[in-house]
């Protein structure tokens, strides 16, 4: 089905709504409800197309519209939901009472997107930007993530997995750096670059905190169910795993990559949904299970990765001392 013909009709007014038009629309909807939007303009005495009336009502005139600045909590919710759902503005709006999809979309494009960019986070993937960061940029994040262990009072398995993952990623990062940048003249190790890294890193660390990733009280399970993202539901139920999304330093393209915990980008979410629809989610979960470096395998408590064995023994603080030294 193509475009609705109502907007093609000539002679219908476009552009900003006048107070008189608003009053007519409000009055009519209050008395009769909106019924058929197409029929409404005529009944209400408006020289507008039904679509325009619907938009005006849903985005501006509806009595339950909440106007004014977004709160911190709302911002967090938008960012979190956007990392899960992508540009599904209506789905995001559904979880912010009184806010419209249009308003959220505008707020994202004008404020939140820039905010994330300034923090060194790619607003599309919700991962650290790799275009201007060297590989060491991820280290303090990983350390910070692992150190959250002490802040958590969650079940032991969860702690172990998250800490293990962070350590594994750090270890992997170090190995990568050492193997690919062992030339000390490499700009990646120049003092100036390190300084730049620190600047960006702090921004990224604060992103982690802002995301409430480790104390996330918001439960998005219902949204994910709505979106048929059952795999992610499992992940989100374990708030620790959430950190995998924003801090994945983009190593998954590498043949040595550690497994991703969840599809971190909207594109990957789509792929997950596609797999669910195609009933091959089991394959997704166990994708190339024999190969721990498989970039598509999900990391859950049910799966044991051989590479974990190499670092499980390093759960003590001495592990970090050794690494950092």
Partner DNA sequence: AAAACGCTCAACCGCTCTTTG
Partner DNA sequence: GCAAAGAGCGGTTGAGCGTTT
Binding site for DNA (CB under 7 A): 1-7, 13-17, 35-39, 48, 50-52, 54-56, 58-60, 87-91, 101-103, 105-107, 109-111, 114
CB of 114 to DNA, least distance (A): 7
Can you tell me the distance from the alpha carbon of 24 to that of 30, in angstroms, rounded to the nearest whole number? Answer: 10
DSSP element (H, E) containing 321: helix 317-324
Nearer to DNA, 41 or 259 (CB): 41
Q: By the 8 A CB rule, do 26 and 61 touch?
A: yes
CB of 229 to DNA, least distance (A): 14
Can you tell me the distance from the alpha carbon of 158 to that of 137, in angstroms, rounded to the nearest whole number? Answer: 25
Nearer to DNA, 111 or 287 (CB): 111
| Percent composition of the chain: helix, strand, coil (DSSP 3-state, to 5) | 60, 0, 40
- Sole residue written with tokens 């709160």: 71
CB of 109 to DNA, least distance (A): 6
CB of 77 to DNA, least distance (A): 15
Nearer to DNA, 90 or 186 (CB): 90
Can you tell me the distance from the alpha carbon of 29 to that of 199, in angstroms, rounded to the nearest whole number? Answer: 54
CB of 309 to DNA, least distance (A): 43
Which are the contacts of 167, defined by CB distance < 8 A and separation ≥ 6? 142, 146, 311, 314, 319
Nearer to DNA, 54 or 286 (CB): 54
- Sole residue written with tokens 């519209």: 65
Nearer to DNA, 101 or 161 (CB): 101
């Amino acid at each position: 089905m193509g475009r609705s013909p109502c907007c093609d009709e000539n002679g219908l007014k476009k552009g900003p709504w006048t107070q008189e038009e608003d009053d007519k629309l409000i009055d009519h909807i209050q008395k009769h409800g909106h019924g058929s939007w197409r029929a409404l303009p005529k009944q209400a005495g408006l020289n507008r197309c039904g679509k325009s009336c619907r938009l005006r009502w849903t985005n501006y005139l509806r009595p339950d519209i909440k106007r004014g600045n977004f709160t911190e909590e709302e911002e967090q919710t938008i960012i979190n939901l956007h990392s899960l759902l992508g540009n599904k503005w209506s789905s995001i709006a559904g979880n912010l009472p009184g806010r419209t999809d249009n308003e959220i979309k505008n707020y994202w494009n004008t404020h939140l997107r820039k905010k994330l960019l300034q923090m060194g986070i790619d607003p599309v993937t919700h991962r650290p930007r790799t275009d201007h960061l060297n590989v060491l940029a991820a280290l303090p994040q990983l350390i910070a993530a692992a150190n959250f262990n002490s802040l958590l009072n969650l079940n032991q398995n969860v702690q172990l997995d998250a800490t293990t993952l962070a350590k594994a990623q750090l270890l992997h990062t170090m190995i990568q750096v050492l193997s690919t940048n062992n030339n000390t003249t490499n700009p990646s190790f120049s003092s100036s670059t390190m300084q730049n890294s620190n600047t960006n890193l702090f921004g990224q660390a604060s992103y982690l905190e802002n995301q409430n990733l480790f104390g996330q009280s918001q439960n998005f399970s219902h949204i994910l169910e709505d979106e048929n993202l059952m795999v992610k539901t499992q992940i989100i139920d374990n708030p620790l795993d959430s950190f995998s999304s924003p801090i994945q330093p983009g190593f998954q393209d590498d043949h040595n990559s550690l497994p991703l915990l969840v599809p971190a980008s909207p594109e990957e979410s789509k792929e997950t949904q596609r797999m669910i629809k195609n009933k091959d989610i089991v394959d997704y979960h166990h994708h190339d299970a024999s190969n721990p470096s498989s970039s598509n395998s999900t990391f859950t408590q049910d799966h044991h990765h051989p590479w974990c064995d190499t670092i499980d023994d390093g759960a003590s603080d001495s592990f970090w001392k050794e690494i950092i030294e």
